[in-house]
A and B are shown apart, each in its own frame.
Chain A
Amino acid sequence: LCCVVDQESLLVSTMKVLVGVKRVVDYAVKIRIKGDKSAVETANVKMSMNPFCEIAVEEAIRLKEKKSAKEVIAVSIGPKQSVETIRTALAMGADRGIHVTTDMRTDQEVQPLAIAKVFAKLIEEEKPDLVILGKQSIDDDSNQTGQMLAGLMDWPQATFANELTFGDDGTISVKREIDGGLQTVSASLPAVVTADLRLNQPRYATLPNIMKAKKKKVDSKALADMGVDVEPRFTVTEVSDPPTRQAGSVV
């Protein structure tokens, strides 16, 4: 991991954090497959913010409360209803939102590489010091976007974050959940962090904050206008239910 310290991004009090929030089928909903087996049924199904994105937003807000961050920007790529997901992030405490609109299916067609490229483009414009993403989304379970983004930007990455702390010297120290236990890494900023389950307990968007969130700004831009190659690299040929459980047999 790169340990070169960039003096500009040491200005912690002006730190900008970009957080990704994805609109997915609510975790409690029983998933149904479309009749033609082409995809998961999402029409008239309850949608919510991806749970790992909630954790990412919560971490960013906590950084703001600790005065480590100045501004938190929530980004969502998706259909027009994704603005509701951004509003939830705003209601949790994010300062403003960016909505990249697309009618492509975000669980199959807009793939992690494309998302990473969109984020890279936004990073060029917004110049954040830290990007926090959920480790994966519960619809495609790719667990690739954060890693690909770090690769594209040539930034350090700290994935599966269980704990995030700031050092005085403008570095971050992240405890990662790995198969064998916990691994601590340190990285200089700017960096990509992906949030794992135990990083924090996301707060509820309180009712007063939901009302206040209405006044916060959300910029909208079309995915097609971003000049990013979002061509799918693979096609989903079939989505089907797992085989029904058979009774076990006594050996």
Chain B
Amino acid sequence: DPTKMAALRVIQKLARTVPPRCLSVSWMSSHASAKSAGHPVSEVVMPLTVLSEDEQMMRDTVAKFAKEKIGPLVREMDQNSKMDDSVLQGLFENGLMGVEVEAEYGGTDSTFFSSCLVVEELARVDPSVAVLVDIQNTLIVTSLRLHGTEEQKQKYLPRLAADTIGSFCLSETESGSDAFALRTRADKKGDYWVINGSKMWISNSEQAGLFLVFANADSSQGYKGISTFLVDRDTPGLTIDKHEDKLGIRASSTCPVHFEDVKIPESNLLGTLGHGYKYAIGLLNEGRIGIAAQMVGLAQGCFDYVVPYTMERKQFGQSIFNFQAMQHQISDVATEIEAARLLVYNAARLREAGRPFIKQAAMAKYYAAEVAAKTTAKSLEWMGGVGFTKDYPVEKFYRDCKIGAIYEGTNNIQLSTIARYLKQEWQQ
């Protein structure tokens, strides 16, 4: 049967490019049902918003955990600019910190898409917690899985899954978007490295046990000297300054991290010397899909709160939701959130399928950050005066969303990235 053979070839092709655990049961069963509907099927493509059984279960469990264990603490954590220990413990206990870590290292043994779902669900309740989980999974764990030696994986992956938070140390006071202008140095002294310099705006650093540090081991090579190092928190010479007093995502600690003659064994070099710049680009290209997921979750969390309010609130004898102007604004925002989510899911699926995804990832991050900003701004307006008070969660979402346009690649950087790809596609 040629139809069946064609379908089988597609599934097999998918199976070669996608790691076994990415293929889910529901894709296969929908193939069967499409066939039985009597239409010749050459390949089965599922809607982006249809999740596999595991993904659905994970989303439900994270949603429940977020609502019950994080929800009640959100306001306090924001006010005190401090993540509660019970939340951190819960994140580890429920396997949210090592989503892609294989079972043999004590991880959840799941996929990149699942980690994006986890981040999205957490962001609906608290974007600060979401960013902590996002950095851990998409930057720290991924860097070890991709570039670590077996010894490094055995040493760090189980800890990252079980109890150790990681920090990604790239930015400095003089190098943000121009990341490769970083000045932190790594000098080789016999069989160890000595790191000197200061990093700025480092998320999770207050609680981190492991620091992934980008330092230049050979400045004569320019950015091609940048290398990646693993530094444990208790290494002498490493100090973490007081956290910044931020506008938003306040519960996520953001601190300067100083390295003063920090000695680490040469076995703590991650990957190849001088390839750090490549690793950083690669990690951030993927990581920004996670941030995009955070922004989508933030927008949705805010929206979910406000819409029922507009149906309850009455003015001029009816719910404010009934006014056409309100309905149009609300529908417009709902459409944009849906569009942002689809961009994120598609970028994540492309990445998982081993297909080109960088342009789409940049689009997802840029668009999701913009949508989050618009959603929260509009939500504040719909709530009116009460939205402007701290008694309601909307003002926090409004403050939290702004960072989306800034970190892990500013909006302008994303647009430049997209332009680069467009140029490649359209160049005469």
Contacts and interface: CB of A to CB of B under 8 A. Distances in A.
B110 A206 contact: no
23 contacts: A84-B53, A91-B57, A91-B61, A204-B61, A204-B64, A204-B94, A206-B93, A206-B95, A207-B62, A207-B95, A207-B99, A207-B108, A208-B103, A208-B109, A209-B95, A210-B54, A210-B61, A211-B21, A211-B54, A211-B103, A211-B108, A212-B109, A214-B54
B95 A87 contact: no
Contacts of B56: 84
A211 B61 contact: no
Interface centre among A87, A91, A206, A207 (most CB of B within 10 A): A207
> Which are the 5 A-B pairs with shortest beta-carbon distances?
A207-B95, A208-B95, A207-B108, A208-B108, A206-B94
Given A87-B57, A206-B94, A207-B58, 20 more contacts: A84-B56, A84-B57, A88-B57, A91-B57, A91-B61, A206-B61, A207-B95, A207-B96, A208-B103, A208-B107, A209-B95, A210-B54, A210-B57, A210-B58, A210-B61, A211-B103, A211-B108, A211-B110, A212-B103, A212-B109
A29 to B, nearest CB: 13
Nearest to B62: A207
A121 B53 CA distance: 30
Contacts of A206: 61, 93-95, 108
B100 to A, nearest CB: 11
Contacts of A205: 57, 61
A103 to B, nearest CB: 16
Contacts of B61: 91, 204-207, 210
A207 B110 contact: yes
Interface string B95-121: 110010001000111100010001000
Interface residues of B, number: 23
Contacts of A48: 60
Contact of A211 (B93, B109, B118): B109
A119 B93 CA distance: 34
B93 to A, nearest CB: 7
Nearest to B24: A214
A78 B298 CA distance: 36
B118 A207 contact: yes
Contacts of B95: 206-209
Interface in A207-221: 207-212, 214
B65 interface: yes
Nearest to A211: B109
A234 B352 CA distance: 52
Nearest to A84: B53
Nearest to A205: B61
